[in-house]
Amino acid sequence: MNSIVKALLAGTALTVAAASTATAQEIPQRVGYIVNYATHEWYQNVIGGMQDRADELGIELEVLDANLDIARQVSAAEDFMARGVDVMIITPVNEEGVVPILRRARANGTPVVLEGNPVVGMDTLVAICDYDTGYHAGVAAGEYANEHLGGEARVMNVGLPLLSATVLRSQGFMDGIRTQVPDAELVHDLDGGGNPDRSLEVSMAALAADADINVIYGINDSSAIGGLQAWRANNFPEDGLLTVGTGGEGLAFINEMEQDNSYELEAAMFPEKVGFTAMDAAVSMYNGEELPEHIVSPTTTLDTESWRQYYDYDGSSRAINWETVNALVPPAECMMYAADLEG
């Protein structure tokens, strides 16, 4: 508890410090963002938040898509440097591939802010805490289980073991739920590939083998919905089931939460806020300020009521409520990092 309070105070101090220096900062004219996969909803919203902040500050933002190709990412970085952007923001396609870009950018005098994944030799990274996100959703799920599911939790995790970030989310979720339901059981630990159709397929097979679960956890919204749709395809009733998604990257979770069904909790990661924070970090880098190695972007667990405080929804599109999202205080550091994972 004491450490949480300390973390909150540290986070608040960092935010206040950032806000106070912002007024005295010089503003870069042009910022280039090399996204790893622009067609994903998550990154579309990261770009959206970045653009919003750039517009506020009067910065020209240019976005290039590496489309999961490290060679394209390298050439995009060379292109940006040749055209003299003031700061680059990069979401790495892979960790090793970005190292030479960082070296070249340093030699060229172009500051670089990384988003999402850490890279050796980086100056600063803007990212959420994956473990914490899953953990807090797990705690909320455990509380829900005690209240509505008779204190039992048998979990189907629709995960993605390929990525350390998503492994951290799943591990955090199970650790979190066990703080409330000590006997919570991981019945199925699946690889849904992070996409809805594969999640649907593996969940169908898993449910056919053993349908005795009452919690579906997805490492992103597509995975959670794939698992939930597999449940529905079996004509199982949703009474006595809890579905928990992660990300809040698009409209899917809102669409589910608007209905009266089992999708009760969302571990929201606010991609718009990640973009917003990355742009602020770019401004700080441009001004030569000392930044922490990891700037944490806040996450929180939403339920069927509280999501409306963070998003306005008109039936076909959503808009982030900056006031409430910016009021969230991120921890100064994460509870667990990829390096802490066993194996």
Positions in 240-279 near another protein (CB under 8 A): 250-252, 255
Give the contact letters, 63-102, x = binds to another protein (CB under 8 A), - = no.
Answer: ----------------------------------------
Sign of CA pseudo-dihedral 280, 283, 289, 291? positive
Asked if 154 touches another protein (CB under 8 A), the answer is: no
- The helix (H) or strand (E) run that includes residue 157 is strand 154-159
Question: For another protein, which is the closer residue by CB, 15 or 246?
Answer: 246
Rounded Cα distance, 267 and 275, in Å: 18
> For 117-133, b where at least 16 C-beta lie within 10 A, e where not — what string?
bbbeebbbbbbbbbbbb
Min dist. Cβ of residue 341 to another protein (A): 18
Min dist. Cβ of residue 296 to another protein (A): 26
Residue 53, beta-bridge partner list: none
Rounded Cα distance, 221 and 243, in Å: 10
Identify the DSSP state of 23. Answer: T
Residue 327's identity, in one-letter code, is A
Question: For another protein, which is the closer residue by CB, 91 or 220?
Answer: 220
Question: For another protein, which is the closer residue by CB, 45 or 110?
Answer: 45
Question: For another protein, which is the closer residue by CB, 22 or 251?
Answer: 251
Positions in 157-216 near another protein (CB under 8 A): 190-191, 195-197, 200-202, 204-211
Question: For another protein, which is the closer residue by CB, 139 or 190?
Answer: 190
Rounded Cα distance, 234 and 161, in Å: 26
- The helix (H) or strand (E) run that includes residue 220 is none
Rounded Cα distance, 140 and 138, in Å: 5
Tell me which residues touch another protein (CB under 8 A). 39-41, 44, 190-191, 195-197, 200-202, 204-211, 222, 225-226, 229, 232-235, 250-252, 255, 315-316
